[in-house]
């Protein structure tokens, strides 16, 4: 979405979540490197970085675990502070006129002040129904959403060169995980939101983010056991099985939400989803995968963004790999 450099050398992918930072690098001629470092509670709230220094400290720890890797970084923003929209605009506009027209359209369409956002756009191609028009995709994010992340990564000694949108990064991740001739949906389960991306024949076709339906599982556990949400999230990451009376309603609500998103994705892409991959920090919650398989018609498996097809993840990676989808997609990006 936002570029701050033009070099095409390898990048470090940084995914700043609510409860942890995830960092992935693909050194040339060496295996992938990765790190997941938990964040203190309330460091990131509603996708907004509240404490850049705490995020920077976690990133410095992650970089220490990765060893010698590039400092050029790609990161992403998501949540309610980002928006995408497609428009049909006249063909033949030069770049300056096209940008002016985009900003004019955005001023009336954005749900926030257009002077306080970063905008980017991409011409998708000619309108199939009108040769005099072209389809243009707008991506926008509130500036404070982006700036908080930029401040954190710079404090950690990284050099940000690309800021993407999380849904777009997930489309790219899904595209890498599709087989020839199939359509794959990838659902990223965050602490408070779910993002679903669909790719078919190696290309992203759809993505949508929504707040989680119902009460997030970690919040329900915290309330039931009298602990903090951070403690409940840590317990889930360490493999503690949530109580059945909390897990069942959470899975049912999540499955219903995924069914709606999958139907929307199939309608937009005009393709039937062949497989659903589950990713994100909540993917490895004990009992979640089996529960979703009971409620969803598609085959449901975990996403493996670092492992080769058919390859078994190592012990340490197995515990966190589904959470690395966004960071891995960002690390694979190359600037033109």
Whether 5 shows a pLDDT value over 50: the answer reads: no
User: Residue 250 CA to chain centroid, in angstroms?
Assistant: 21
Same domain membership, residue 157 and residue 46? yes
What pLDDT does 8 receive? 58
85 vs 169, which has greater pLDDT? 169
Same domain, 165 and 53: yes
Number of domains comprising the chain: 3
CATH number at residue 138: 3.30.1490.300
The confidence score (pLDDT) of residue 310 equals 58
24 has pLDDT over 70? yes
Give, rounded to a whole angstrom, the gap between the first and last alpha carbons of the chain: 13
More confident residue, 319 or 73: 73
Q: What is the 3-state secondary structure (H, E, C) of the chain?
A: CEECCCCCCCCEEEEECCCEEEEEECCCCCCCEEEEEECCCCCEECCEECCHHHHHHHHHHHHHHHCCCCCEEEEEECHHHEEEEEEEEECCCCHHHHHHHHHHHHHHHCCCCHHHEEEEEEEEEEECCEEEEEEEEEEEEEHHHHHHHHHHHHHCCCEEEEEEEHHHHHHHHHHHCCCCCCEEEEEEECCCEEEEEEEECCEEEEEEEEECCCCCHHHHHHHHHCCCHHHHHHHHHCCCCCCHHHHHHHHHHHHHHHHHHHHHHHHHHCCCCCEEEEECCCCCCCCHHHHHHHHCCCCEEECCCCCCCCCCCCHHHHCCHHHHHHHHHHHCCCCC
Q: Give the per-residue pLDDT at 309.
A: 64
**Model confidence at 115, in pLDDT bands (50, 70, 90)?**
confident
Q: Indicate if 235 and 297 belong to the same structural domain.
A: yes
pLDDT at res. 252: 95
- Shared domain for 75 and 23, answered yes or no, is yes
Asked if residue 53 and residue 173 are part of one domain, the reply reads: yes
The reply to whether 206 and 336 lie within a common domain is no
- Highest mean pLDDT, choosing among 82-96, 135-149, 151-165, 232-246: 151-165
- pLDDT recorded at residue 6: 46
Domain that holds residue 319: 1-81+143-177+304-336
| Of 34-38, 96-100, 210-214, the least confident | 210-214
Q: Quick check: 319 pLDDT over 70?
A: yes
Q: Are residues 10 and 153 in the same domain?
A: yes
Query: Whole-angstrom Cα distance, residue 287 to residue 177?
Result: 24
Question: Is 50 in the same domain as 108?
Answer: no
Site of tokens 């919650």? 285
The share of the chain scoring above pLDDT 70, in percent, equals: 95
| Average of per-residue pLDDT across 98-104 | 85
Final residue of a structural domain among 142, 160, 191: 142
The CATH number for 196's domain is: 3.30.420.40
For residue 240, what are its two tokens?
């503690």
Mean pLDDT of the chain: 88
| 283 and 214 inside one domain | yes
Distance CA 95, CA 302 (A): 42
Q: For residues 276 and 279, what is the distance between their CA atoms, to the nearest angstrom?
A: 10
Q: Which residue has the tokens 């999230």?
A: 233
Residue range 196-250, pLDDT digits in tens = 999 998 889 999 988 887 778 888 888 988 888 878 887 887 788 899 999 999 9
pLDDT at 137 over 80: yes
Pair (189, 284) in one structural domain: yes
169 and 209 within one domain = no
Query: Mind listing the pLDDT tens digit for each residue in 243-292?
Result: 999 999 999 999 999 999 999 999 999 999 999 999 998 898 999 999 99
Task: Specify the pLDDT at position 69.
Answer: 87
Q: Could you tell me if 49 and 94 lie in one domain?
A: no
């Amino acid at each position: 979405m936002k570029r701050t450099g033009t070099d095409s050398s390898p990048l470090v992918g940084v995914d700043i979540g609510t409860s942890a930072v995830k960092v992935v690098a693909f050194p040339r001629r060496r295996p992938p490197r990765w790190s997941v470092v938990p964040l203190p509670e309330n460091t990131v709230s509603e996708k907004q970085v509240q404490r850049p220094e705490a995020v920077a400290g976690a990133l410095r720890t992650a970089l220490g675990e990765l060893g010698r890797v590039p400092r050029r970084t790609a990161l992403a923003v998501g949540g309610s502070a980002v928006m995408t929209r497609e428009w049909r605009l006249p063909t033949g506009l030069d770049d300056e006129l096209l940008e002016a027209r985009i900003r004019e359209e955005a001023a009336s369409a954005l749900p926030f002040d257009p002077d306080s956002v970063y905008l980017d756009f991409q011409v998708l191609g000619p309108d199939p129904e009108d040769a005099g028009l072209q389809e243009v995709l707008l991506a926008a994010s509130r500036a404070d959403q982006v700036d908080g992340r930029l401040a954190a990564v710079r404090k950690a000694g990284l050099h940000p060169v690309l800021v993407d949108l999380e849904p777009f990064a997930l489309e790219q991740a899904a595209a890498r995980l599709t087989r020839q001739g199939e359509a794959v949906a990838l659902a990223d389960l965050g602490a408070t939101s779910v993002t679903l991306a669909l790719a078919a024949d190696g290309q992203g076709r759809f993505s949508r983010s929504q707040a989680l339906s119902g009460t997030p599982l970690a919040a329900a556990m915290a309330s039931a056991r009298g602990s903090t949400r951070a403690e409940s999230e840590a317990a889930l990451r360490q493999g503690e099985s949530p109580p059945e009376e909390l897990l069942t309603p959470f899975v049912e609500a999540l499955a219903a939400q995924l069914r709606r998103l999958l139907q929307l994705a199939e309608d937009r892409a005009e393709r039937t989803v062949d497989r659903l991959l589950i990713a994100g920090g909540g993917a490895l919650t004990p009992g979640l995968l089996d529960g979703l398989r009971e409620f969803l018609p598609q085959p449901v498996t975990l996403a493996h963004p670092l492992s080769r097809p058919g390859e078994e993840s190592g012990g340490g990676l197995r515990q966190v790999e589904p959470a690395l989808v966004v960071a891995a997609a960002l690390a694979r990006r190359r600037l033109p």
